Structure 1
Amino acid sequence: MSDLVRVRFAPSPTGPLHMGGVRTALFNYLFAKKYDGTFILRIEDTDQTRYVANAEQYIIDALKWCNITIDEGPNIHEKYGPYRQSERKEIYKKYVDELVAKGCAYYAFDSSDDLDKHRKDHEEKGKTFIYNWHNRNKLQNSLALAEDVVSAKIKNGEKYVIRFKSPENETIQLVDEIRGTITIDTNTLDDKVLFKSDGMPTYHLANIVDDHLMQISHVIRGEEWLPSLPLHILLYKAFGWNPPKFAHLPLILKPVGKGKLSKRDGDKLGFPVFPLAYTNPKSGEVSSGYKEEGYFPEAFVNMLALLGWNPGTEQEIFSMEQLIAAFELGRVSKSGAKFSPDKTKWFNQQYLQQKSATELANLYSVILENRGISREMSYVKKVVALVKERAVFVSDFWQLSDFFFETPKAYDPKAVKKQWKENTPSLMTEVGEVIQNIDDFTSENTENLIKEWITKKEIGFGKVMQPLRLSLVGALKGPHLFDIMEMIGKEETIHRIEVAIKELSQE
């Protein structure tokens, strides 16, 4: 592979970055780093009607959170800048004029009303209106009008667009790095608008010009752009430029039913579709994000990488470095990849288990501080070590370990009904007396002494152990009971038994 691999991620700043967009950025990034290439961020903001002010910063923040480093972009090593298309307006005008001069594009003066009439007329006849070779010489454009008429219209400020002149009766072969060879009959193509009446280029023109001028070697983008590939290849040909290699990624599909994953699916089924939370500046609507939901960026990236790409092995957990080493476009699937919320949680759980007790304790300490609880880090680390196997998110730690930090304020009603019998208070009182006489209050020693006492009393273990856990925890949950007792200490253990006897004897 050439050492001149240059790829770009070119989103439109029209709102938050969908996870499908993040995956496109990720695959571009992996490919670039695999071959010591350059990853470029380009903001395609030619559609000013859909522009959203905070969207560009959101895109940059999202990539940063995913540890996708931008080599070139807005205000970053602008080797071929500017990297916002709205700041490259004059460049596009020059190139579209070149296409007109070559006879590869033309001025079209048709109004929206005129085109609507043509569409309705075709619909009434059971046909589809396509603006191309079969009717362009009959419409209001520079191919059908006299040169002086065209000049007069332009001079008088009459609105126009510039359309590409699609070739007639040609067959072109396109090569996609993922999908192979595609054959297209040019008679089926319409004459796409390249330059709009507001003086801005359409995606098609700006995209081609920028990719050429920025020396993009590979265009890796979503499947939805595959229908545009014939036009893009024809534009390269019209300019006399060598096209980059193209690869169109499969869609990310909704977890239930058919079709592309959307925000609506996330809202309906309760999972985010954006990497970061997003507040719509116009409506104030807040959309949830993976970061705020408690996902680790490494888990999110790992999950995305395996949506549509197969490493060819059974391995599922990959660091960014491992993804870069393993990634190949040839192993990207042609068919859509179904998103699984449960699998995404599984990835997060795997990464949580891999993290050190120190890192997790630091994260948990923030949650504790927000609750007004302050404990030594050594204590928090011990708690984390005892409960982390049951956690998916760091936010789960409180529900799994609240009893390590405070006396239960309530008791599970079902557990009380099942485990707290008429003679339980007297048994718990005796257990409290046994505990009071234990000097070495380590988990192992306490367990041995209490089990000896139960055996000596010839009581069923469940009659003591379950109510004891209920007294200390408030429910029949938690790690090894005697580990809990050692952690909270003898005085607190006795105190909780006394509170439980008082509270539960009143019910």
Structure 2
Amino acid sequence: MTQASSATVRTRFAPSPTGYLHLGGARTALYSWAYARHHKGTFVLRIEDTDVERSTPEAVQAILDGMAWLGLDADEGPFYQMQRMDRYREVVGQLLASGHAYHCYSSPEEVEAMREKARAAGLKPRYDGTWRPEPGKVLPPVPADRKPVVRFRNPTEGSTGWNDLIKGPIVFSNTELDDLIIARPDGTPTYNFCVVVDDWDMRITHVLRGDDHVNNTPRQINILRALGAPLPQYGHLPMILGPDGQKLSKRHGAVSVMDYDRQGYLPDAMINYLARLGWSHGDDELFGRAEFVEWFDAQNLSRSAAQWDPQKLNWVNAHYMRQLGDDALGQRVAPRIAARGGDLTQASLPAVVALVKDRAETLEQLADAAMLFFGAPEQPGEELLQQHLTEAARQALADFTRQAEALEWSRENISALIKQVLKAHGLKMPQLAIPLRLAVTGRTQTPSIDAVLEIIGKETVLKRLKQF
């Protein structure tokens, strides 16, 4: 890899706003952001919104929301391609004037016929250069009723290659690259052309993107050379596969970054997990943003596809949840409890979090567990009551309730009283603990019953026991 100069590094993330910010895009953004931060450079956000039919304001906002949630702050931008149309037309004119582009009047049907003819001859399907000016060549008459496209005059000899930051040397023969369209009949520029002008104007030095762009790169390099523009260094990231080894898609579950916010994942956990999907620093699995930025460089990016592992993500997220501390974690989970109809005045949220956090891997799981304390008690079914509420259990419950009236309410005192009642009635722990759970919470399984009763509070516990 060519070592970057820390004074010159400029990276970019350039999504098309035709949907949400997906995981592959988020990883590309993360690596581009980290590369710029590592080299104390500049990270540019560019919205490639020239696909007018599919680009929507909602999709733009989804991308911005995803970037903000992940904390991937841009130094410049967002820039919008649709606001740069005059600049693109200016550069098209420049290429036409220099002879590096030309007007092509072939209709889409005629171009398709050229491709079919090439296929039939066992050749690569392509435009045959009918309107490409050559010395001594006589061009066809210009159709009166047809607006031309503008094609880039690609070199026909030699090859175009680059030393990919991830994949190593890649070379394309120029004979494989036909004269691509850079402006449509209505004058609007095409994707590959806009990217070139933007990277040039924004002085992008390093382009990290998905390897589905590998075939675009030689075309973009040739246009940059025709413009006399400097070439960025390119690095193409392998795709992310689902747990089944197929390309990650909706069938594997959530693929939008903000879906993971809704499912209760922390942004720092997602950053840590995404960072490891195609990059490594020795055996380190858990690290903060500062460490990641310090360690990140392109030579440790993998050439092989990464595999999405939901269980690993859950493990990472659980670690970050425990790192937060009970007060901070409580603040994160409070809106989710309220959304479930929970009454946050019923118990101490930090105390609840401290008790149940080790059983949860996401904020959603934590909110579900916390509803034991902030929701109404469940109503146990008759079958459960018959199974666990024996006559001996009833007498022990009545004894516990009577003695609890005078108890100084703490986990230690509740535990001591439970043991005392068990001994007095000759029972084992489950014979009282399960009826207590049913009476107070409506459930047969909870965290340790003495801790649960302490948090629910003496007044509420006695009220529920008496009603039961």
| Distance 1:417-1:323 versus aligned 2 partners, 3 A rule | farther
Shift of 1:176: 0.5
Q: What residue number does 2:254 align with?
A: 272
Q: What residue number does 2:223 align with?
A: 235
Q: What residue number does 1:385 align with?
A: 354
Q: How many residues align?
A: 463
Answer yes or no: is the 8 Å Cα contact 1:407–1:496 preserved in 2. Answer: no
Shift of 1:47: 2.8
Shift of 1:32: 0.5
Shift of 1:418: 4.5
One-letter identity of the residue aligned with 2:248: L
Q: What residue number does 1:80 align with?
A: none
Q: What residue number does 1:362 align with?
A: 331
Question: Is 1:100 matched up with 2:111?
Answer: no
Shift of 1:251: 0.8
Instruction: Select the residue among 20, 23, 26 that pairs with 2:27.
Output: 23
Question: Is 1:426 matched up with 2:395?
Answer: yes
Answer yes or no: is the 8 Å Cα contact 2:342–2:374 preserved in 1. Answer: no
Instruction: Give the secondary structure class of the aligned counterpart of 1:42.
Output: strand
Question: Is 1:185 matched up with 2:204?
Answer: no
Q: What residue number does 1:465 align with?
A: 433
One-letter identity of the residue aligned with 1:162: V
Q: What residue number does 2:446 align with?
A: 478
Cα deviation 1:380-409 (Å, max 9, x = unaligned) = 221121111112233333432333345523
- Which structure 2 residues correspond to residues 3-402 of structure 1 after superposition, within 5 A? 3-74=7-78, 83-124=79-120, 127-131=123-127, 135-136=128-129, 139-143=130-134, 158-258=146-246, 260-262=247-249, 264-265=250-251, 269=252, 271-276=253-258, 289-312=259-282, 314-370=283-339, 371=341, 373-375=343-345, 379-402=348-371
Instruction: Select the residue among 441, 460, 468 that pairs with 1:492.
Output: 460
Cα deviation 1:425-473 (Å, max 9, x = unaligned) = 233223323333x432322123223313322433333322222233223
Cα deviation 1:235-264 (Å, max 9, x = unaligned) = 222223321111111111122242x222x3
- The 1-side partners of 2:11 and 2:296 are apart by 15
Answer yes or no: is the 8 Å Cα contact 1:415–1:475 preserved in 2. Answer: no
Instruction: Give the secondary structure class of the aligned counterpart of 1:333.
Output: coil
Instruction: Give the secondary structure class of the aligned counterpart of 1:130.
Output: coil
Q: TM-score if structure 2 supplies the norm length?
A: 0.90
Instruction: Give the secondary structure class of the aligned counterpart of 2:8.
Output: coil
Answer yes or no: is the 8 Å Cα contact 2:131–2:139 preserved in 1. Answer: no
Answer yes or no: is the 8 Å Cα contact 1:7–1:219 preserved in 2. Answer: yes
- The 2-side partners of 1:372 and 1:68 are apart by 33
Shift of 1:337: 0.9
Superposed CA RMSD in Å reads 2.7
- Between 1:413-422 and 1:174-183, the stretch displaced more is 413-422
Shift of 1:274: 1.2
Instruction: Give the secondary structure class of the aligned counterpart of 1:56.
Output: helix
Instruction: Give the secondary structure class of the aligned counterpart of 1:8.
Output: strand
Answer yes or no: is the 8 Å Cα contact 2:280–2:300 preserved in 1. Answer: yes
Shift of 1:413: 6.9
Shift of 1:334: 1.0
Shift of 1:183: 2.5
One-letter identity of the residue aligned with 1:84: Y
Displaced runs of 4+ in structure 1, greater than 6 A? 144-150
Instruction: Give the secondary structure class of the aligned counterpart of 1:235.
Output: helix
Shift of 1:50: 2.8
| Distance 1:192-1:383 versus aligned 2 partners, 3 A rule | same
One-letter identity of the residue aligned with 1:482: D
- In structure 1, stretches of 5+ residues that fail to align are 75-82, 277-288, 501-507
Instruction: Give the secondary structure class of the aligned counterpart of 1:219.
Output: strand
- The 1-side partners of 2:459 and 2:90 are apart by 83
Answer yes or no: is the 8 Å Cα contact 1:407–1:472 preserved in 2. Answer: no
- Which structure 2 residues correspond to residues 430-469 of structure 1 after superposition, within 5 A? 430-436=399-405, 438-469=406-437
| Distance 1:50-1:90 versus aligned 2 partners, 3 A rule | same
One-letter identity of the residue aligned with 1:451: K
| Distance 1:7-1:221 versus aligned 2 partners, 3 A rule | same
Instruction: Give the secondary structure class of the aligned counterpart of 2:76.
Output: coil
Answer yes or no: is the 8 Å Cα contact 1:106–1:165 preserved in 2. Answer: yes
Answer yes or no: is the 8 Å Cα contact 1:43–1:84 preserved in 2. Answer: yes
Instruction: Give the secondary structure class of the aligned counterpart of 2:353.
Output: helix
| Distance 1:471-1:336 versus aligned 2 partners, 3 A rule | same
Instruction: Give the secondary structure class of the aligned counterpart of 1:353.
Output: helix
Instruction: Give the secondary structure class of the aligned counterpart of 1:13.
Output: coil
Question: Is 1:404 matched up with 2:400?
Answer: no
| Distance 1:34-1:18 versus aligned 2 partners, 3 A rule | same
Answer yes or no: is the 8 Å Cα contact 2:399–2:421 preserved in 1. Answer: no
One-letter identity of the residue aligned with 1:304: L
| Distance 1:149-1:27 versus aligned 2 partners, 3 A rule | same
Shift of 1:6: 0.8
- The 1-side partners of 2:440 and 2:96 are apart by 82
Instruction: Give the secondary structure class of the aligned counterpart of 1:290.
Output: helix
| Distance 1:308-1:192 versus aligned 2 partners, 3 A rule | same
Answer yes or no: is the 8 Å Cα contact 1:401–1:478 preserved in 2. Answer: no
- The 1-side partners of 2:368 and 2:224 are apart by 59
| Distance 1:413-1:347 versus aligned 2 partners, 3 A rule | farther
- Between 1:400-409 and 1:220-229, the stretch displaced more is 400-409
